[in-house]
Amino acid sequence: MKNYTDEEILNKIKTLSSFTHYPKTYYIVGIRSKEDKPDTYDDKFYIYKGTTFITVMTGTTNSGLYGLKNFNLWNKKGTAIVKVDECYYNVWTRGLHKRKVPALVQTGKLKIIRDNNRNNKSGDSNLYSIESGIGINFHPNTYNLNIVNKIINIIIGKWSVGCSVINDIIKYRSFLNYTKPQKIFTYILLNEF
């Protein structure tokens, strides 16, 4: 995936039809790789506060192959894929993913594409619905945040069936610490540009 300057990312965000303002608090800008290699953490998450860049983490904005192939186990319409090039203001609050690990959990509405063609690629449709309460969270790919390794699990597997998942545990743990006073988070999701 291409590396971006702060100016490129902030200017791209301003072009989105759902853009109203840059949050003054911490927020997350996910960038979905055009390559979209199946079951691979090939996306990036940029953390900002206002217009100030804080850090970048690796992860995925796509479902793993397990979710793409087995969606009928939880939703016959298809695996949830968050629609790109959208600002989702105040969509996540602090909580626990699956009641096991600190995460940002979905409390707001997201535009969701339901992928049901089982072709190993995420969300190759423009049809979407607006959904809330479906559990599209921002979480790590482990239930143990005490791990000292920087990157764990190179395969998405069951870690994402719609969630945005971080595989850089040290940076994720740091993110939770420096944003501790903040309760509500905005998510901006872009396609690689």
pLDDT category of residue 124 using cuts at 50, 70 and 90 = low
Q: Is 13 helix (H, G, I), strand (E, B) or coil?
A: helix
pLDDT band at 119 (very low <50, low <70, confident <90, very high): confident
pLDDT at 125 > cutoff 80: no
For residue 81, give the amino acid letter: I
If you average pLDDT over every residue of the chain, what do you get?
93
Q: What is the DSSP letter of 143?
A: S
All residues at 6 or more sequence positions from 122 whose CB lies less than 8 Å from its CB, including other chains: 36, 62, 63, 68, 79, 81, 115
Mean pLDDT for 110-117 is 92
Digit-coded pLDDT (tens) for 64-88: 999 999 998 989 999 999 999 999 9
Strands 86-97 and 43-49 come out as unpaired
Q: Are 129 and 90 in contact (CB under 8 A)?
A: no
Percent of the chain scoring above 90 in pLDDT: 81
pTM for this one? Answer: 0.94
Q: What is the mean pLDDT of residues 109-129?
A: 85
pLDDT per position as a tens digit, 136-154: 999 999 999 988 777 777 8
- Cα angle, residue 166 at apex, residues 102 and 170 outer, rounded to 5°: 75
Q: Is the pLDDT of residue 39 over 80?
A: yes
Predicted confidence band of residue 132 (pLDDT cuts 50, 70, 90) = confident
Per-residue pLDDT, 122: 82
Examine the pLDDT at 163 and tell me if it is beyond 90. yes
- Name the phi and psi angles at 17, rounded to 5: -65, -25
Q: Apex CA 51: angle with CA 18 and CA 101, to 5°?
A: 80
Higher pLDDT, 17 or 76: 17
Q: Above pLDDT 70, what percent of the chain?
A: 97
- CA-nearest of 47, 10, 41 to 174 is 47
Residue 191's pLDDT is what?
96
